[in-house]
Amino acid sequence: MSTSRRALLGAALGGAAGAALGLPVAGTAHAVSWQQRWAPSASRDGLGAFETVEDDRANSHPGGQPHIYATVDNWRFNMHTVDRDTSTDRQRQEVTGLRTGSSSYLKWTEGQTWRITYSMYIPASLKATTTFTHIMQMKQPGTGTLPIVVQSLRRVNGVQTIELKLAIDDILVGRTDLEPLHDKWTDVDFQIKVGNGSAGSVRWILKSGSATVVDKSKTGVDTFLADRVRPKWGIYRSLGDTSGSLQDTYLLLKNLRGYQLV
């Protein structure tokens, strides 16, 4: 890649934010670039696109199964008000990880930089709540592990918002109004440098059509607990909402792609 092309990539992905994530910037000769590592197809791969599938793991609603399935070009996550997780104060229909073969999947480890892009459709029935409603998480695999990063639908002073937080230290990366994004496709670009203590960084971009809705970054942050980082998608929400926002709903995802900075 030429120096001018590297500079263009660094500028396109955002100057200081790009540099903090290890991206090339003007005047450098460090030839790094995003290499695609994961490009599943809903019609071809189905749920085999993911490392694991957590579909009603408490078997609380057999009549609603499957809650998670692939259609022609997207993955659908259904949530009913009667659904319960193994912890009965919450609901969970999620998939995890980036599968690349029948016995292989990508592992995000300390020091690496990764990027996920995809489109999500949030219907008006999937509302922000006064307690947690996560639609994407970054976690250390394992039972009982805490989230590292969460993309959530949260009511703030009565307003429905979508936000990204670094859960380890409760750091808000960015937040924007949710209602303008209801009932339409929104493009997500999430980037993470996996780092312990202050060695990590994240960038979160949402686009609606040609408009950039949010583009926020945080550097010098903790994005690693132990072992590795694994993405999760779906609906994971508390039943403790006090706004009356819980109802039968769904989430759609499509065009999932995974890239590593090398």
Tokens (6 digits) for 203: 């960038």
Same structural domain, 223 and 193:
yes
Quote the pLDDT of residue 1. Answer: 43
Quote the pLDDT of residue 9. Answer: 40
Q: Rounded to 10 degrees, what is the CA torsion of 86, 90, 93, 94?
A: -90
Domain that holds residue 187: 35-261
Quote the pLDDT of residue 8. Answer: 40
pLDDT tens over the chain, length 262 residues: 444 433 444 444 444 455 555 554 545 556 799 999 999 999 999 999 999 999 999 999 999 999 999 999 999 999 999 999 999 999 999 999 999 999 999 999 999 999 999 999 999 999 999 999 999 999 999 888 899 999 999 999 999 999 999 999 999 999 999 999 999 999 999 999 999 999 999 999 999 999 999 999 999 999 999 999 999 999 999 999 999 999 999 999 999 999 999 9
Same structural domain, 1 and 75:
no
Same structural domain, 91 and 3:
no
Quote the pLDDT of residue 28. Answer: 52
Same structural domain, 97 and 196:
yes
Same structural domain, 99 and 222:
yes
Quote the pLDDT of residue 60. Answer: 98
pTM of the model: 0.89
Same structural domain, 110 and 232:
yes
Same structural domain, 7 and 79:
no
- In the chain, the amino acid numbered 249 is T
Quote the pLDDT of residue 18. Answer: 54
Tokens (6 digits) for 39: 């490009």
Quote the pLDDT of residue 30. Answer: 64
Same structural domain, 110 and 6:
no
Domain total in the chain:
2
> Looking at residue 132, which CATH number applies to its domain?
2.60.120.200
Same structural domain, 222 and 112:
yes
Q: Which residues contact 200 (CB under 8 A, 6 or more apart)?
A: 192, 193, 194, 220, 221, 222, 223, 224
Same structural domain, 23 and 53:
no
Same structural domain, 93 and 207:
yes
Quote the pLDDT of residue 31. Answer: 79
CA distances from 18 to 220, 228, 258 (A): 13, 23, 17
Same structural domain, 113 and 13:
no
